[in-house]
Amino acid sequence: MKLLIAGFFILLMSSFVPLFSGRRSRVAAVSVAVGTFCCLLLSAGVCIESLFTGNTFDIAYRMSLPFATFALGVDPLSAFFLLPLLLLSTLCAVYGVSYMEKKNSEASSVTIWFFFGILVLGMSLVVVARNGMFFLIAWEIMTLSSFFLVTHDNHKKSVRKAGWIYLVASHIGAAFIFAIFAILGRHSDTLDFAAFQTIMTGAAISTALFIFALLGFGSKAGFIPLHIWLPEAHPAAPSHVSSLMSGIMIKVGVYGFLRTLTFLGDPPLWWGVTLIVIGASSGILGVLFALAQHDIKRLLAYSSVENVGIIALGIGMGLVGISCGEPVVAVLGFAGGLLHVVNHCIFKGLLFLGAGAVIHETGTGEIDHLGGLMKKMPRTGICFMTGSAAICGLPPFNGFVSEFLIFLSALFGVTTGIIPLSSCSIAVIISLALIGGLATACFSKAFGIIFLGEPRSGCAERARDPDAAMTVPMIILAVLCLIIGLSGASAAMLTVTTVSEISGLSMTACAAGLKTAAYPLTAIAMLSSLLIILGGFLFAARRAMPGARVETKGPTWDCGYAKPEPRMQYTSSSFAQPLTQLFSFFLRTKTKLPDTSAAFPAANSFSTETPDFWQEYIFRPAVIFFNRLSAIVAKTETGRIHIYILYIILTLLILLTWNFFR
Amino acid sequence: MNAADTIMIFLILTNLSLLASSRFNACIKIVALQGVIVGLLPLIAANGPLTIYSYLLALLIVTVKGILFPYLLKHTLRSVNVRREIEPFIGYGASIIIGVLALIVSFWLTTHIPFHDKILSTTAPAVAFFTIFCGLFIIVSRVQALTQVMGYIVFENGIYIFGSALLIEQSFLVELGIILDVFVVVFIMGITMFHISRAFDHIDTDRLREK
């Protein structure tokens, strides 16, 4: 534990280096990267030990704040989130060293590196905090530092708007988290987590806490309809930061939710059902909106909503399994959800870094301006393809393992014959299948339009693979996708201690539950390895054959056209059109059709735009309503000091007299 | 009628006359007089042998409120080029009526507050409230920054009367801290006002928003 604290201290110190490094932005970047890496190394020991043995490590110091103690602890749940957090942070920092170099001003790079370090520190502290007040402080550090990262390009109006949406959404969420700890604190007279676990709150209070956790942590995690900040904030931030935010910061929300569940005792059935409903809607709608986007980072942001939905489905299956007394279902559900946290962290991190490499080289994230990058950026292309395959849940990559565990949990659930459990399971199977299919469509669109075909504009022509500092993190993440995918059974077993902590089941029961998944996972892994070896062999054979080196180049579109052009290729909206048409009820895509009624139509344009349904139809009207309301209140704000003092006197008098009449 | 009650009446009179005065010179004198009375209050109120600290404190408060503040205020007055309150939000006649109403409200309030019996004078808490209200009322109703500073001092006097009226065991150090705070505030206000009057040509707080 002392090492862990030392690691945090090093990280803190390294975050301050950018403030003093002045012009040498590389020094700033390297120092933060090294600090994060040191923190990873120093915390790895205690995390791994806790993860394998299930032991918990605690340390607490007094703080002068009321109710607060500087209490840190590592248990399997914390370790399970802390390790991927620091790993991805390190990789993103290394990536950023090179990514930020082309960025213009030194001032922005100073703020970015400072807040990057602070953000990593804040997230780590949230995960290991063992005191409510300390947790909230760390939570705010995380939120505010990421706000400054989102708004670093603050001379753009769209970025400022994104920052505001993010700040408001975060703080509405934080208000509910304050409420959670206030209620828990009332019932245990202290804000230490150790005390929360022993209190028995009534059903009404548990319900309130569950709902608050869903709203508070759900807004950070990005459950629909609380997700609106994601598609705004992720594109606004620099790519290595959006990778960090999407890969791990939204998972800190999931962590908070799971941590609250451990305080609440046995879940009633409807908790699990609620989570499944939320998960299914987030998953399906998230991927649908992803499909309709034209900006690569917006697309990835919506896809994060989808994946958080999958995580919620897993946790929901776990909760339903517990309340129906089916340990195997519960264990598989929780394990699937948890493993998907790590997996999503890896492949979404990878995809954002890949998107960053594309933006770095071409200067645009508009899918429709890109194309044919596979030949120019082969390494980035292969990494992005790996990430895409993993996020679609295809074997032999890691996304498959976690989704398979959730599927398996639901399949077991169907066979139990308990009516609520079976119906939930069927719902999970249907929605997960739909999500998988749509995700495949979405990412074949993203990968196909960006990397295949011919360049659609001048931006894509000068692109080449970025340098090693940017490609190596991507390659590491891509290899991790494959490793976890091929060793699915052992990866699943790693969740035993954590699942046991969340579900309250014994470790042997959890291990037994996960054993059921071991056989099919191993079989699939072996089959995939065989296929990979076979494919590699065929590829090598093809390379060895005479004449393999000769490249012929012909036009992609040559079906009788006199002059085929890159502009004739499928665009991202035309690729997705059949599906967006099918789901137009939810998507409400705005199409601007060209007017071709004249005999000789002039030059014209066609565009589609899919604004966020909830932002347009729920949050915007709500904000307008509150603005009107506050305009009334604003009339009392005259800006005259006399009037304010008058308010103070009136308040004083009212309080005094009110006290007597009670 | 004992000595304490007489002093209380004096205090009420200073408050009322402050509400009716428009000339800064007169106001400064009244505030100084009130400060001196307030400073001497603990000596009369003490129930027991007076310690050296009580004398020191009284001396300090009389010096600060009776000599130092008037000096600072007059010094500021010379530099700001205003002689009197020109257009208060509430006129002087109305101010006195409001003052009398505030006095009634203060007495009514204090009848509802339970005090322990070791109290300096039955009227003291009411006078304390009245002084506080007067201070706040001056801050609200007057336009010139200098009058508002005096309102602030009167407000602080009210709090001090409340403390000594209830015979709260005052720690010498706490009182020192408070008087230091008030002193610093008045000092800074003097400097600020000098700069405001240089920048705006007036110290009319209602017109500060105009450029």
pLDDT digit string (tens) for B177-204? 777 788 788 877 777 777 777 777 777 7
Do A411 and A508 have their domain in common? Answer: yes
Do A633 and A484 have their domain in common? Answer: no
Neighbours of A633 (CB within 10 A): 8
Would the CA dihedral through A11, A15, A18, A19 be positive or negative?
Answer: negative
Give the chain A residue whose CA is nearest to the CA of B207. Answer: A640
Residues of B near A (Cβ–Cβ under 8 Å) read 89, 105, 109, 112-113, 133, 136-137, 139-141, 205-206, 209
- Computed over its alpha carbons, how large is the radius of gyration of chain B? 17
Q: Tell me the shortest Cα–Cα distance from A649 to chain B, in angstroms.
A: 7
Determine the residue type at A235.
P
- Name which of B112, B113, B140 is nearest A649 (Cβ-Cβ): B140
Neighbours of A614 (CB within 10 A): 16
Q: What is the mean pLDDT of chain B?
A: 81
Which of the four pLDDT bands, split at 50, 70 and 90, describes residue B169? Answer: low
Cβ <8 Å between A640 and B109 = no
Do A328 and A457 have their domain in common? Answer: yes
Closest by CA to A571, choosing from A360, A377, A366, is A366
Do A367 and A461 have their domain in common? Answer: yes
Domain boundary, last residue among A495, A512, A537: A537
Q: Percent of chain B scored above 90 by pLDDT?
A: 12
Q: Which two tokens stand for residue A202?
A: 């009534």
- Mean pLDDT of all residues in B163-182: 71
Q: How far apart are CA A632 and CA A35, in angstroms?
A: 50
Give CA separation, A424 vs A265, A270, A279, A517, B11, in Å: 21, 11, 12, 20, 78
Q: Which two tokens stand for residue B34?
A: 């009130």
Q: Helix, strand or coil for residue B43?
A: helix
Q: Tell me the shortest Cα–Cα distance from A654 to chain B, in angstroms.
A: 11
At residue A126, the pLDDT reads: 95
Mutate to test the interface with B, among A642, A656, A657, A658 (most CBs of B within 10 A): A642
Cβ <8 Å between B205 and A642 = yes
Q: Helix, strand or coil for residue A58?
A: strand
Q: Which two tokens stand for residue A277?
A: 């409903």
Q: Exposed, middle or buried by CB within 10 Å (0-12, 13-18, 19+), for A54? A: middle
DSSP secondary structure string, A351-403? HHHHHHHHHHHHS--BGGG---HHHH-HHHHHHHHHHHHHHTT-TTSHHHHHH
Do A532 and A631 have their domain in common? Answer: no
At residue A472, the pLDDT reads: 93
Q: How far apart are CA A258 and CA A503, in angstroms?
A: 10
Q: How far apart are CA A410 and CA A244, in angstroms?
A: 31
At residue A618, the pLDDT reads: 85
Residue numbers of the domain that contains A452: 315-537
Q: How far apart are CA A448 and CA A441, in angstroms?
A: 10
Alpha helices, H only, A129-202: 132-150, 157-188, 193-196
Over residues B72-107, the pLDDT tens digits come to: 888 888 877 777 776 778 888 889 999 999 999 888
The length of chain A in residues reads: 662
At residue A218, the pLDDT reads: 93
Partners of residue A57 on adjacent β-strands: A74
Element (H, E) at A582: helix A572-582
Q: How many Cα atoms within 13 Å fall on the side-chain side of residue B168?
A: 14
Q: Report if residue A377 sits inside a domain.
A: yes
Number of domains in chain A: 2
- Name which of B112, B141, B205 is nearest A641 (Cβ-Cβ): B205
Q: In this complex, is the C-beta atom of A645 within 8 Å of any C-beta atom belonging to chain B?
A: yes
Q: In this complex, is the C-beta atom of A635 within 8 Å of any C-beta atom belonging to chain B?
A: no
Give the chain B residue whose CA is nearest to the CA of A657. Answer: B109
Q: Report if residue A103 sits inside a domain.
A: no
Give the chain A residue whose CA is nearest to the CA of B155. Answer: A649
Cβ <8 Å between B89 and A642 = yes
Q: In this complex, is the C-beta atom of A632 within 8 Å of any C-beta atom belonging to chain B?
A: no
- For residue A644, the chain B residues in CB contact (below 8 A) are none
Q: Tell me the shortest Cα–Cα distance from A17 to chain B, in angstroms.
A: 38
Domain boundary, last residue among A537, A566, A601: A537
Over residues A168-188, the pLDDT tens digits come to: 999 999 999 999 999 888 888
At residue A36, the pLDDT reads: 92
Partners of residue B204 on adjacent β-strands: B144
Neighbours of A159 (CB within 10 A): 19
Enumerate residue ranges in chain A where pLDDT < 70: 22-23, 102-107, 200-201, 548-549, 555-562, 662
Do A507 and A632 have their domain in common? Answer: no
Neighbours of A308 (CB within 10 A): 31
Domain boundary, last residue among A516, A537, A558: A537
Q: Which two tokens stand for residue A166?
A: 């993010």
Q: Which two tokens stand for residue A422?
A: 């079976």
Q: Report if residue A236 sits inside a domain.
A: no
- For residue B206, the chain A residues in CB contact (below 8 A) are 640, 642
At residue A360, the pLDDT reads: 87
Do A416 and A527 have their domain in common? Answer: yes
Partners of residue A58 on adjacent β-strands: A73
Q: In this complex, is the C-beta atom of A655 within 8 Å of any C-beta atom belonging to chain B?
A: no
Number of domains in chain B: 1
Q: How far apart are CA B130 and CA A81, in angstroms?
A: 61
> Higher-confidence residue: A645 or B205?
A645
**Token match 């040191």: residue?**
A38
Closest by CA to B205, choosing from A634, A652, A645, is A645
At residue B170, the pLDDT reads: 60
Give CA separation, A400 vs A343, A372, B136, in Å: 9, 28, 71
Closest by CA to A138, choosing from A84, A197, A81, is A81
Cβ <8 Å between B206 and A649 = no
Asked if A559 and A568 touch (Cβ cutoff 8 Å), the reply is no
Residue numbers of the domain that contains B91: 3-207
Q: Report if residue A446 sits inside a domain.
A: yes
Q: Which two tokens stand for residue A350?
A: 């990878």
- B182 Rama sector, left if φ>0, alpha if ψ -120 to 50, beta otherwise: alpha
- For residue A642, the chain B residues in CB contact (below 8 A) are 89, 139-141, 205-206
Closest by CA to A305, choosing from A227, A392, A206, A198, is A227
